Amino acid sequence: MNTDWLAAPCPSPDAASADAARARQAQLTKPPGSLGALEEVAVQLAALQRAPRPAVERVWISVFAGDHGVAEEGVSAFPQAVTGEMVRNFASGGAAISVLARELGATLEVVNLGTVNDPGEIPGVRRAVVAPCTANFCRAPAMTEAQFAAALEAGAASARAARAAGAQLFVGGEMGIANTTAAAALACALLDAAPAALTGAGTGLDAAGVVHKAAVIARALALHAEAREPREQLRRLGGFEIAALAGAYIAAAQAGLPVLVDGFITTAAALAAARINPGVRGWLLFAHRSHERGHAALLRALDAAPLLDLGLRLGEASGAAAAVPLLRLACALHGGMATFAQAGVSGAADDARGHAA
Ligand SMILES: O=C(O)c1ccc[n+]([C@@H]2O[C@H](COP(=O)([O-])O)[C@@H](O)[C@H]2O)c1
Ligand SMILES: Cc1cc2nc[nH]c2cc1C
């Protein structure tokens, strides 16, 4: 399977739509800028959707699940069997993202890319099984070329399905025991950072567990030190669900579909995607700052200002789902507020405007 499609261009966000949306925001009955990030995100969505009145009513959420060979190093507070068990829980409606998707009226797609405790063919799960588990990247690249290409393609298929279904926003989520180790290792490679700076507690390691996890990551980075290209760093240090996320983000951007990024693992995938294809960056919106150590550095590297900071560290796309109502409110304000002229409200005084920020 060939991965040349990764480099195909992404359309540019529409500058004329952004200008029109900014001009409209300046006429709405509020001091200019007073709705802060809600204004900015409405302008960004207008540019991405090429629409004077952007909307995020039709939301598509894909949760990608995969297991990690590095789990055998004892880097998670939970056993590997949980990945497959949670796939079943997503599908049967009991997981956090199941509830959030229902509340939002969003489409929830669950994609099993390979779980050691495989739930098999079950309703509500798309099987895109690459292998039961990645290789332990302390010993070998996480994925072979063929596995990597298949995982990227599985993610792209989700973004294309979202586009075909008329989604206005693509949200990627993930589930994979030990994937904060993979995401931190990938982040260290992409940012040339030390493991201690980007390694966190994941599902709940204690301080000694975090020190051990950082040492595991240091071993992996030493083994794969010659990999300097983002594509190769993602193949060697990522995971099936992380590669699928990167593939989904790239394909969504190429298809002109806005993306809302979730937490630590998804942001590592987003940084890899943006390094592989820089045109991706303009299609990304950022939902929240995860509690996981290392997320802030990833957000900084992407020059991202997320909407929420709620101390979440679940994954599954839960932080992104929590931000969707804010995006909807931003669009409703943009489309529904009266202008100064329509409401007969006086604008800022001419001499005061000169001093306004
Ligand atoms: O999204 C996040 O910011 C996030 C932060 C910490 C943990 N997680 C979730 O926890 C799992 C990985 O944690 P761990 O400790 O097994 O590496 C995985 O299923 C993620 O969805 C997710
Ligand atoms: C129960 C559980 C649910 C999760 N959802 C995402 N990561 C998770 C990790 C665990 C352990």
What are the pLDDT tens digits along the chain (357 aa)?
Answer: 899 999 999 999 999 999 999 999 999 999 999 999 999 999 999 999 999 999 999 999 999 999 999 999 999 999 999 999 999 999 999 999 999 999 999 999 999 999 999 999 999 999 999 999 999 999 999 999 999 999 999 999 999 999 999 999 999 999 999 999 999 999 999 999 999 999 999 999 999 999 999 999 999 999 999 999 999 999 999 999 999 999 999 999 999 999 999 999 999 999 999 999 999 999 999 999 999 999 999 999 999 999 999 999 999 999 999 999 999 999 999 999 999 999 999 999 876 655 555
User: Is 22 within a domain?
Assistant: no
Distance 263 CA to ligand 1 centre (A): 9
Residue of the CA atom closest to atom 21 of ligand 1: 315
Q: Do residues 130 and 112 touch, judged by C-beta distance below 8 A?
A: no
d(CA 326, CA 304): 17
For 147-173, give the DSSP string: HHHHHHHHHHHHHHHHHHTT-SEEEEE
Q: What is the spatial distance between Cα 148 and Cα 174, in angstroms, rounded to a whole number?
A: 16
- Lining ligand 2 with CB less than 6 A are 78, 82, 86, 175, 203, 314-316
Structural domain contains residue 353: no
Ligand nearest to the CA of 66: 1
Residue 1 is predicted with a pLDDT of: 80
Q: How far apart are CA 318 and CA 23, in angstroms?
A: 33
Q: Are 264 and 286 in contact (CB under 8 A)?
A: no
Q: Is residue 115 part of a domain?
A: yes
What's the CATH code of the domain at 265?
Answer: 3.40.50.10210
Cα separation of 287 and 321, whole Å?
Answer: 8
44 lies in some domain: no
**Cα–Cα–Cα angle for 9, 14, 17, nearest 5°?**
165
Domain annotation covers residue 17 = no
- Any domain includes 4: no
pLDDT number for residue 133:
98
Atom of ligand 1 nearest to the CA of 204: 15
* CA-266 nearest atom, ligand 1: 1
Whether 213 is in the pocket of ligand 1, judged by its Cβ within 6 Å, is: no
Residue 71, in any domain of the structure: yes
Find the domain containing 207 and state its range.
56-325
**Mutate-to-test residue for ligand 1 from 80, 314, 318, highest number of ligand atoms within 8 A of CB:** 314
Where is 60: in which H helix or E strand?
Answer: strand 59-65
Tell whether the torsion through CA atoms of 287, 233, 143 and 6 is positive or negative: positive
The answer to ipTM > 0.95 is yes
- Whose alpha carbon is nearest atom 19 of ligand 1? 175
Q: What is the pLDDT of residue 353?
A: 58
Q: What is the dihedral of CA 23, 27, 28, 30, to 10 degrees?
A: 110
Residue at 51: amino acid letter: A
Does any ligand 1 atom lie closer than 6 A to the CB of residue 76?
A: yes
Catalytic positions: 316
How confident is the model at residue 131, as a pLDDT? Answer: 98
Distance CA 79, CA 87 (A): 14
Residue nearest (by alpha carbon) to ligand 1 atom 7: 202
Determine the straight-line distance between the first and last CA of the chain, rounded to whole angstroms: 53
Local structure of 209: helix, strand or coil: helix
Report the sign of the C-alpha dihedral through residues 269, 263, 62, 118, in that order: positive
Please check whether residue 246 is in contact with residue 273, taking contact to mean a CB–CB distance below 8 angstroms.
yes
* Cα dihedral sign, 311-315-321-326: positive
Cα atoms in the 13 Å half-sphere on the side-chain side of 302? 31
How many domains does the structure of the chain reveal? 1
DSSP, residue by residue, 65-105: E---GGGGGS--SS-THHHHHHHHHHHHT-SHHHHHHHHHT
Q: Give the other-Cβ count within 10 Å of 228's Cβ.
A: 10
DSSP 8-state assignment for residue 317? T
Taking the centre of ligand 1 as the mean of its atom positions, its distance from the CA of residue 202, in whole angstroms, is 5
CA 226/CA 223 separation, integer angstroms: 8
Residue 49 within any structural domain of the chain? no
Distance, in Å, from the CA atom of 69 to the CA atom of 153, rounded to the nearest integer, reads 21
Pair 69, 136: CB distance under 8 Å:
yes
State in Å: Cα 344 to ligand 1 middle: 51
- What amino acid occupies position 326? L
Out of 73, 174, 180, 316, mutate this one to test ligand 1's pocket (max ligand atoms within 8 Å of CB): namely: 180
